[in-house]
Amino acid sequence: MVSNVKDTNIISISGLTKRFKNFAAVDNISFDVKKGEIFAFLGPNGAGKSTTIKMLTTLLEPTSGSVTINGHDPKNNKDAVRKSFGIVFQDPSLDIDMTALENLQYHAVLFKVPADIRKKRIEELLRFVELWDRKNDMVKTFSGGMKRRLEMARGLLHHPKIIFLDEPTLGLDPQTRNHIWNYLLEINQKEGMTIFFSTHYMEEAEKVAQRIAIIDHGRIVAIGSTAELEEKTKTATLEEAYIALTGSVIREEQVNGSDRMRLMGRMMGRN
């Protein structure tokens, strides 16, 4: 695979913080992502991944710190930021009472895909994710994998410069996961689209990501290529490096019942 990474930053994050009451979900993080880069954002549940992605995608106001997306600041130029990216959310976000086609038409209008190319572009993407035959079916009749593919098509519809994928392959079988990544890598190669994704599958990150950031307790604990992370932690695989850095096994046992309840409450309350 030819690297398509340019030398300019498409995402810059500096001192980004989000507090919910007394709890810092994201605590003073800073890093950059380069144009065309495939960037993985890893961390245990509740570490602050989704909160960070929400702040990068204008869904949540940061408590402090600054963000630049494709040269724009979400604070004062939300629409320019919104035009720059596509997103596949962690939770489903389709209207299941509309057809696949209608879901894409809705998105195309909201994202200002010009009317004259709208039809062509929708067909192109539905064929791309192999849902063209099902275009007039209600989304509620779709399997989990089909919904995911449709969300992928939707996220790519308006030719975004960046695609954010929040655990895009969660709960999908390996065939579908492979399929989805093949689409994404193809577009990354052809159009230089930056990919920013979070996942719990270490082998997925190892395989496709050029750089990886690991977040835990709202802080970035490590950032670099797989090789750099392995070297830093003196381990042989990304998974080992990840566990060395986040130590999840040991920490889980130390968490008592009421902590877990609180964590659950926070997660459910926020998402």
Interface residues with another protein (CB under 8 A) are 54, 57-61, 78-80, 82-83, 85, 87, 89, 91-98, 102, 105-107, 109-112, 115, 154
Q: To the nearest whole angstrom, how small is the minimum distance from the Cβ of residue 14 to another protein?
A: 21
User: Which is nearer to another protein, 96 or 227 (by Cβ)?
Assistant: 96
**How far is residue 235's CA from residue 232's CA, in Å, rounded to a whole number?**
8
Burial call 231-247: b when 16+ CB within 10 Å, e when fewer: eebebeebeebbbebbe
Q: To the nearest whole angstrom, how small is the minimum distance from the Cβ of residue 129 to another protein?
A: 17
User: Which is nearer to another protein, 8 or 93 (by Cβ)?
Assistant: 93
User: Which is nearer to another protein, 81 or 222 (by Cβ)?
Assistant: 81
User: Which is nearer to another protein, 88 or 223 (by Cβ)?
Assistant: 88
Q: To the nearest whole angstrom, how small is the minimum distance from the Cβ of residue 84 to another protein?
A: 9
**Cβ atoms 35, 196 nearer than 8 A:** no
**Cβ atoms 5, 210 nearer than 8 A:** yes
Pairing of strands 211-216, 219-224: antiparallel
Q: To the nearest whole angstrom, how small is the minimum distance from the Cβ of residue 49 to another protein?
A: 15
Q: To the nearest whole angstrom, how small is the minimum distance from the Cβ of residue 271 to another protein?
A: 9
User: Which is nearer to another protein, 106 or 239 (by Cβ)?
Assistant: 106
Q: What is the CA radius of gyration of the chain?
A: 19
Tokens of 60: 């949540």
**How far is residue 229's CA from residue 225's CA, in Å, rounded to a whole number?**
6
